[in-house]
């Protein structure tokens, strides 16, 4: 027992020494582990720092490009949606218009038929308007001689209008009917105005009184002469018996007096031979 123990213990120091010798040899081959950095190491460190900064800068630029592409993508998406909505709206409108086309075609055909009817009506209306104007002109000449210049001018204007191509048939007809309405209104109104009586050097300024189409009277401004138009004689007749009645009638016509019974010369009725 004693011998064995010694042998083991005598081997351990030898093995440990061999390991230390091997480690020392390895350290000599690899060089010193804790040696100070070489002189060029700071330059390498600065290079690494510069490379890291450049990398961060490139990363920031890349991120900025990514953000820009994202904004552009959002704009394109919004534009796409807008164009899509507009396209759908146009498509809906086109469908509505397409649905209206048959109705519009039918309306055009109806208008064409109406135009043909208007052309046929125009051929009938033009002679009618010519007869209406001729009748109106004759009526003005045979009627009581009040406002003669104004009424003749109205008829002459209508006659000239009939030869103008830039006036529609409907407008011509409307103005002729309007002239008839004006003449009809004369028969329902009471009017007093100043005007010329006579022609040339014999013309005098007098006060006229028109009672519808029943009577047409006059009185000089000095009230010394009163008369009326005699339809049978086609001439003016002096009759001072109507002097006071004339003044009263003028006051009623000018709304200076209350409405009252008017005294005017009226031709006696005649018997018509059958």
Buried b (16+ CB within 10 A) or exposed e, 23-45: eeeeeeeeeeeeeeeeeeeeeee
Question: Greatest CA separation found in the chain?
Answer: 194
122 SS3 class: helix
Contacts of 167 (CB under 8 A, 6+ apart): 161
- DSSP string computed for 227-243: EEEETTTTEEEE-GGGH
pLDDT of the chain, 274 residues: tens digit per residue: 333 434 433 444 444 444 444 444 444 444 444 444 444 577 777 777 777 777 777 777 788 788 778 888 888 888 888 898 888 888 888 888 888 888 888 888 888 887 777 667 777 888 999 999 999 999 999 999 999 999 999 999 999 999 998 998 889 999 999 999 999 999 999 999 999 998 888 889 999 999 999 999 999 999 999 999 998 889 999 999 999 999 999 999 998 888 888 899 887 766 656 5
CB 220 within 8 A of CB 204: yes
Hey, what are 122's tokens? 């125009």
Q: What is the pLDDT of residue 26?
A: 45
Q: How many CB atoms are closer than 10 A to CB 221?
A: 11
Output Rg (C-alpha) for the chain, integer angstroms. Answer: 61
Q: How many CB atoms are closer than 10 A to CB 252?
A: 18
Measured between alpha carbons, how far is 211 from 245 in angstroms, rounded to an integer? 13
Residue 217, class by beta-carbon neighbours within 10 Å (0-12 exposed, 13-18 middle, 19+ buried)?
buried
Q: What is the pLDDT of residue 40?
A: 52
Q: What is the pLDDT of residue 271?
A: 67
C-alpha distances (whole Å) from 249 to each of 108, 158, 210, 245, 264 are: 61, 34, 10, 6, 9
């Amino acid at each position: 027992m004693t011998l064995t123990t010694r042998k083991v213990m005598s081997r351990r120091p030898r093995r440990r020494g061999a390991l230390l010798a091997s480690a020392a040899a390895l350290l000599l081959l690899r060089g010193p582990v804790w040696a100070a950095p070489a002189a060029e190491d700071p330059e390498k460190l600065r290079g690494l720092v510069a490379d890291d900064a450049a990398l961060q800068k490139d990363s920031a630029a890349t991120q900025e490009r990514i953000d820009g592409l994202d904004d552009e993508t959002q704009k394109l998406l919004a534009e796409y949606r807008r164009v899509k909505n507009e396209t759908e709206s146009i498509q809906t409108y086109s469908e509505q218009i397409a649905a209206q086309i048959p109705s519009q075609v039918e309306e055009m055909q109806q208008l064409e038929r109406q135009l043909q009817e208007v052309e046929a009506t125009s051929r009938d209306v033009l002679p009618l308007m010519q007869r209406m104007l001729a009748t109106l002109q004759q009526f003005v000449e045979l009627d009581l001689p009040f406002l003669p210049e104004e009424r003749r001018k109205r008829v002459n204007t209508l006659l000239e209008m009939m030869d103008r191509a830039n006036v529609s048939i409907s407008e011509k007809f409307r103005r002729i009917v309007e002239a008839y309405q004006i003449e009809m209104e004369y028969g329902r109104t009471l009017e007093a105005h100043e005007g010329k009586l006579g022609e040339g050097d014999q013309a005098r300024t007098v006060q006229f009184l028109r009672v519808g189409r029943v009577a047409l009277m006059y009185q000089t401004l000095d009230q010394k002469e009163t008369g009326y138009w005699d339809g049978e004689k086609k001439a003016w007749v002096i009759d001072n018996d109507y002097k006071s009645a004339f003044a009263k009638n003028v006051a009623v016509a000018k709304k200076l007096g209350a409405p009252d019974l008017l005294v005017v010369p009226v031709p006696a009725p005649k018997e018509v031979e059958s």
